Amino acid sequence: MKEYQNVRWKGYLRQDGRKGIRNKLLVVYTVECSSHVAKEIARRIDSSDVDVVGFDGCCDNEYAVRLLLALIRHPNVGGVLAVGLGCEYVQPKHLAEKALEAGKPAQWFFVQEHGGTEPSIEYGMQQARLLLEELRQTPVVPMGFSDLVVGAECGGSDYTSGLAGNVVVGRFYDKLVDLNGTAVFEEIVEAVGLKDLLVQRAADDCAREQLAYTYDKALEYCKSVRQYSVSPGNFAGGLSSIEEKSMGAVIKSGSRPISGVIKVSQQPPKNGLWLLDSTPDPYWMGFGYTNPNDNEGLMDLISCGCQLVFLVTGRGNIVGSAVAPVYKITGNSGTFHRMSGDMDFNAGPVLSGEVTLEQLCQNLCDQVIRVCSGKPTNAEKLGHKEYFIPYKYQEKEVVVKRECE
């Protein structure tokens, strides 16, 4: 581990002290009615440094607004162009002002005030080019593992996920935490049957209470929607039950103490290992789902400040994400070779005894350094920039509150 203590690469310094591994211009639409204009601006600019995200709804949703603001403040984002129609609830001016407060160049406009589709696209492209020029002035500074926040989730799990793919991520997380970095894992609904294991790993009484509450809430959620996080694809991949899937999913968190629970769009208060709770909180309308697709899970992790996200997939997945690189890891060598253009890392050789887990982890550390230094992931090469921001109800912090703040 000592060989990584002094490893450095170039990062983009932000006003709040965080450092990014990318320097993106984020085009944000505030309602579905302005999404076409926003997407066309990015498509015609045709730059890997321009990403698009947005919220489809015309009415208010605090969860979605918090998520948009978290993405705007993200360390991988250097500038913001907010695009609105003109009559929606979420106002692009507000988003641009928050970006400026965070020390990032920003512009905004309404499609209704710029003559409709084509004139708005042309105007937006002019503003985007000016903002991209400003991004060239972003300070570049040394960055290391202690500056990193890395997220991890599963998608398309099979029997190899809990034996290789998630295992190497867990070993990497142990090293990252030991190097004073920050690791965030999620999918509490894929920890069914493992409450005692999670609670035993709590770093203190506050974390223990948060973990117990979050687990109980997730279990009640699964019961209320009458669905556990296990699919026909998981069964086809060799998994037998939600409990077996859960054991394979939780192992990606490694073995270090869990510092506590954070909510979507909440930054970890300090370095260490954190559980992200993306499950909706109890609400009389009862709306919102947890991880209806993999891109919501990725977006949730990124909203917490993760500069890089691992997607562990046994059966294979092709998605990437806006804002942060998605690095896809599989424990299934067959999947890796069959989908070699999409997969980034093959953990399968550890199952055949070709490499040790420690060797595999070191390989992963080396690859992370390359990606953080600017090497594109396969999803980035292919232009995958998916995103998903739904309606949901969730409190800003864990509901259980005692004298542990």
Q: State whether 150 and 254 are in the same domain.
A: yes
Average pLDDT estimate for 263-281: 94
Q: How far is Cα 71 from Cα 322, in angstroms, rounded to an integer?
A: 9
The mean per-residue pLDDT over the stretch 350-377 comes to 96
Greater confidence (80 vs 242) lies with: 80
Beta-bridge partner residues of 27: 52, 81
99 and 185 both lie in a single domain: no
Please give the angle made by the CA atoms of 57, 187 and 400, to the nearest 5 degrees.
85
Q: What is the mean pLDDT of residues 371-390?
A: 96
User: For residue 326, is pLDDT > 60?
Assistant: yes
191 pLDDT above the threshold of 90: no
Take residue 123 and report the two structure tokens written for it.
């105007």
Domain end marker among 75, 103, 137 = 137
pLDDT at 230 over 60: no
Same domain, 203 and 240: yes
User: 13-17, 77-81, 128-132, 195-199: which has the minimum mean pLDDT?
Assistant: 195-199
Percentage of the chain lying above the pLDDT 90 cut: 72
Query: What pLDDT score does 402 carry?
Result: 46
pLDDT at 285: 58
Quote the pLDDT of residue 369: 98
Same domain assignment for residues 153 and 115: no
* pLDDT value, residue 403: 45
Does any domain span residue 390?
no
Output the pLDDT for position 221. 78
Task: Provide mean pLDDT across the span 230-245.
Answer: 59
Residues 253 and 148 in one domain: yes
pLDDT at position 241, please? 58
Q: Are residues 149 and 186 in the same domain?
A: yes
**Is 260 within the bounds of a domain?**
yes
238 vs 20, higher pLDDT = 20
Mean predicted confidence (pLDDT) in 98-116: 97
Query: Which of 73, 104, 137 finishes a domain?
Result: 137
CB atoms within 10 A of CB 240: 11
**Boundaries of domain holding 39:** 24-137
Q: Terminus-to-terminus CA distance in the chain, angstroms?
A: 32
pLDDT confidence of residue 61: 87
Asked whether 162 and 330 are in contact (CB, 8 A), the reply is no
Question: CA angle at residue 402 from 405 to 261, to 5 degrees?
Answer: 60
Q: How far apart are CA 249 and CA 331, in angstroms?
A: 13
228 and 345 assigned to the same domain: yes
Please check the confidence at residue 404 and state whether its pLDDT lies above 50.
Answer: no
Whether residues 124 and 99 fall in one domain = yes
Check residue 246 and give its pLDDT: 63
- With beta carbons less than 8 A apart as the criterion, state whether 164 and 351 touch: yes
Written as one letter, the residue type at 247 is M
In the structure, what pLDDT confidence band is assigned to residue 288 with cuts at 50, 70 and 90?
Answer: low
* pLDDT, tens digit, 9 for 90 and up, residues 155-165: 777 778 788 88
Which pLDDT does position 374 carry in this prediction?
A: 98
Verify that 155 and 121 share a domain, yes or no: no
Strands (E), 245-365: 258-263, 272-277, 308-312, 326-330, 345-346
User: Do 166 and 313 reside in the same domain of the chain?
Assistant: yes
Vertex 297, ends 393 and 378: CA angle to 5°?
155
44: domain CATH number? 3.40.50.2300
Nearest-CA neighbor of 295 among 96, 172, 80, 151? 151
Mean pLDDT of 24-48: 97
Given pLDDT bands bounded at 50, 70 and 90, which one contains residue 405? Answer: very low
Instruction: Flag whether 19 is in a domain.
Output: no
Assigned domain for 152 exists: yes
**Per-residue tokens: 381:** 């090469």
Which band of pLDDT confidence, cut at 50, 70 and 90, is reported for residue 6?
Answer: very high
Per the prediction, the chain carries an average pLDDT of: 90
Q: What is the pLDDT of residue 2?
A: 54
What average pLDDT does the segment 214-225 reach? Answer: 82
pLDDT for residue 53 is more than 50: yes
Q: Give residue 244's pLDDT.
A: 61
What is the band of 3 on the pLDDT scale with cuts at 50, 70, 90? confident
When comparing pLDDT for 111 and 288, which is higher? Answer: 111
The reply to whether 50 and 132 lie within a common domain is yes
User: What is the distance between the alpha carbons of residues 51 and 291, in angstroms, rounded to a whole number?
Assistant: 22
Quote the pLDDT of residue 234: 60
Q: In terms of domains, do 248 and 160 share one?
A: yes
Tokens of 354: 């070709």
Whether 177 is in a domain gets the answer yes
Please tell me the total count of domains within the chain. 2
The closest of 80, 96, 373, 398 to 268, measured between CA atoms, is 398
Domain boundary among 88, 111, 137: 137
